[in-house]
Structure 1
Amino acid sequence: AALESNGLLLRRYGGAITMPQELVGDPAQPISAYKRAIARAAVMRLREHARIIIDSGSTTAAMIPELGHQPGLVVMTNSLHVASALSELEHEPVLLMTGGT
C-alpha cells in the first residue's frame, strides 16, 4: 500500500507491477503528495466515457493508477511507457497511439 501511495506501484487483481521508471523519474524521489493530489483531482473531474490525452511526466504518472476506475475511458498518448502502464490497469482503457517518442 505504501509503494502504491507513493506512485511506485500499480496494484492489479492478483498482484502488482512497478511503475515504469520513464514515467516516475528518479527512483530515489517518489511522486510527491502534491502531485498525487493534483492527479486525483484531475481524474475526479473526468466523466464516464471521457476522451483524454496523456503525455509523460511524474504528475501524469500519478494519474494512471486512478484511471483504472474510469468506465469507458479513451486515452490518446504518444508515450509507449504511458501506453504500457495503462495496459496493466484492471479496467484497461481504449488506447490511441500517435507517432513520436
Structure 2
Amino acid sequence: MSTCRKRPQRFGYGTVRPMVRVKLLFFAKARDLAGVEERLLDIEQGLLTLDKLKQIIGEAEPSVKPVLDSSIVAVDLEYVVDNIEIGVHTNEIALIPPVSGG
C-alpha cells in the first residue's frame, strides 16, 4: 500500500489544519482501475463538500478519475450526499462506482 503525503494547507497566519490517516477503499471498476483494494490516505480534518472529497480522491489516485463523477462516496459506512466532517475518528472512505450485472 502506498500513502499520499501532502503538506497541510495553511489557513491564515500560521494556522494549519491537522491531518488524519484513513483507509481509502476501492470497489468494482474503481478497484480495477486502481489495481488495489485499498490504500492509506492522509486527509485534512474539517468540513468537506462531496466535490472536494472526490477531488482529493482523484489527486491521491488519478487512475480512478474516469469513474469519480458517477461514483458514490461513503465515509465510515455513511453515504456522503453534500458535506461531510472529517475528524480524528474517521477511519475509512469508500469509492463505490455504479455496478451493472445480470
Tell me the TM-score normalized by structure 1. Answer: 0.30
Greater share of residues in helix: 1
Structure 2 length-normalised TM: 0.29
Structure that is richer in strand per residue? 2
Higher relative CO (Cα under 8 Å, sequence separation at least 6) belongs to: 2
Q: Higher Cα Rg: structure 1 or 2?
A: 2
